[in-house]
Amino acid sequence: MTVDAELDLPATVQCAQMPATHETVDLVGLFRGSGIGDVLAELDHDLVGLTPVKTRIREIAAHLIVERARETLGIASGAPTLHMCFSGNPGTGKTTVALRMAEVLHRLGYIRRNHLVSVTRDDLVGQYIGHTAPKTRDVLKRAMGGVLFIDEAYYLYRPENERDYGQEAIEILLQTMENQRSDLVVILAGYEARMETFFQSNPGFRSRIAHHITFPDYDAAELLDIAERMLAKMHYRLDDASRAAFSEYLDRRIRQPNFANARSVRNALDRSRLRQANRLFARALEGGAPADAAALTLLSAEDIRASRVFAEMTAARPLPA
């Protein structure tokens, strides 16, 4: 794919608002010079699926390149608002995309540092009077010049507790997001429905968020691809039988509560690796042949089907009449 096709950018932009000049700006040159093409390529390579998310990131990158071009021709409209909301279920790549977004913003000169500080409510809200403000300001100080990523941001607001100090943290965040928006980008993240409730309760946040990006769940085929990529990085593999077993595991696990997409896949693989180790060690104690590389790298169907997911589904089936 060419750079032009990737970002859908023309080769040059003519300043129609300035008839006295014939200056032009090479948008493709700005794109290539920034190096963000490498970041977008890494995003495509590292993350399975997430096509709507990747499309929005490219759109934001294109917008920021055009803003840089407008600055060059003296027609800039002011510093763009870059605060964002990433909504979706756990394990859908929100933190990974936030890291890539920080790199894009840094390479385009919208933040001083390629730096992301990831926090939750506990990092911002204190336990007693006078504790919240210094905690929140310390986090903001560490994140300044880069990106502040607040996971499960809706926990900042707890209306059921009249003595909760989260509102103090919210007020400091809102003030900083407005006054320091040229030196700090804030990304709020969490479940989509809960984030919507949070914005309804805190309209100040909604008015400061420029980009809302929804992260879809992975389907079973994408999760299997993710699993095989994770295993390859750890020098493990599946054969035909274990691949079929893991596909069946995914079909069952997706329907269970608390499924967390790629996070659940990683946990399942970790448990399968434990079962593989126990299986190999038990056979060695029984006098089996020494383990070779093939045995040490293979997760067998036995290792996967020993998961309680299979046992629970079997137990849930009604007995035949």
Q: Please report whether residue 196 resides in a domain.
A: yes
Residues 104 and 146 in one domain: yes
Of 8-12, 29-33, 123-127, give the lowest mean pLDDT range.
Answer: 8-12
Which pLDDT score is estimated for 60? 92
Instruction: Please determine, for residue 13, whether its predicted confidence score (pLDDT) is greater than 60.
Output: no
Q: CB under 8 Å to 44, separation ≥6 — which residues?
A: 54
> Do 10 and 49 touch, CB atoms closer than 8 A?
no
Which pLDDT score is estimated for 10? 44
Q: What is the CATH number of the domain that holds 186?
A: 3.40.50.300
Domain boundary among 217, 245, 268: 217
Residues 46 and 94 in one domain: no
What distance in Å separates the CA atoms of residue 125 and residue 52, rounded to the nearest whole number?
33
User: Region 125-140: what's the mean pLDDT?
Assistant: 90
Q: Please report whether residue 321 resides in a domain.
A: no
Which pLDDT score is estimated for 264? 96
Q: Note the pLDDT tens digit of each residue in 247-273.
A: 999 999 999 989 999 999 999 999 999
Residues 59 and 138 in one domain: no
Instruction: Please determine, for residue 162, whether its predicted confidence score (pLDDT) is greater than 80.
Output: no
Residues 150 and 190 in one domain: yes
pLDDT band at 11 (very low <50, low <70, confident <90, very high): very low
Which pLDDT score is estimated for 16? 43
More confident residue, 259 or 15: 259
> How do the residues of the chain divide into helix, strand and coil, expressed in percent and rounded to 5?
55, 10, 35
More confident residue, 163 or 111: 111
211-215 vs 116-119, strand pairing mode: unpaired
Residues 288 and 266 in one domain: yes
Instruction: Spell 43-61 as b/e; 16+ CB within 10 A means b.
Output: beeebbbbeebbebbbebb
> Do 82 and 102 touch, CB atoms closer than 8 A?
no
Instruction: Spell 161-196 as b/e; 16+ CB within 10 A means b.
Output: eeebbbebbbebbbebbeeebebbbbbbbbeeeebb
Which pLDDT score is estimated for 67? 87
Nearest Cα to 231, choosing from 217, 243, 249? 243
Residues 53 and 87 in one domain: no
In the block, tokens 């040490």 appear at 296
Residues 155 and 270 in one domain: no
94, two tokens: 């929100």
Residues 94 and 194 in one domain: yes
What distance in Å separates the CA atoms of residue 65 and residue 177, rounded to the nearest whole number?
22
Which pLDDT score is estimated for 312? 67
Q: Please report whether residue 227 resides in a domain.
A: yes
**Structural domain count of the chain:** 3
Q: What is the CATH number of the domain that holds 268?
A: 1.10.8.60
Domain boundary among 217, 251, 276: 217
Instruction: Please determine, for residue 145, whether its predicted confidence score (pLDDT) is greater than 90.
Output: yes
Beta bridge partners of 14: 24
Full domain range(s) for residue 258: 220-315
User: Region 274-285: what's the mean pLDDT?
Assistant: 93
Q: Note the pLDDT tens digit of each residue in 193-242.
A: 999 999 998 888 888 999 999 999 999 999 999 999 999 999 999 999 99
CB-count burial class (<10 Å; 0-12, 13-18, 19+) for 299: buried
Instruction: Please determine, for residue 288, whether its predicted confidence score (pLDDT) is greater than 80.
Output: no
Residues 104 and 186 in one domain: yes
> Do 116 and 146 touch, CB atoms closer than 8 A?
yes
Q: Please report whether residue 298 resides in a domain.
A: yes
Domain boundary among 162, 183, 217: 217
Mapped onto helix, strand or coil, the DSSP state of residue 182 is coil
More confident residue, 21 or 125: 125
| Portion of the chain with pLDDT greater than 70, in percent | 89
> Do 291 and 284 touch, CB atoms closer than 8 A?
yes
Q: Of 16-30, 74-88, 166-180, which one has max mean pLDDT?
A: 166-180
Which pLDDT score is estimated for 26? 84
Q: Please report whether residue 63 resides in a domain.
A: yes
Q: Please report whether residue 320 resides in a domain.
A: no
Residues 26 and 151 in one domain: no
What pTM did the predictor assign? 0.83
Residues 102 and 157 in one domain: yes
Residues 191 and 233 in one domain: no
| Portion of the chain with pLDDT greater than 90, in percent | 64
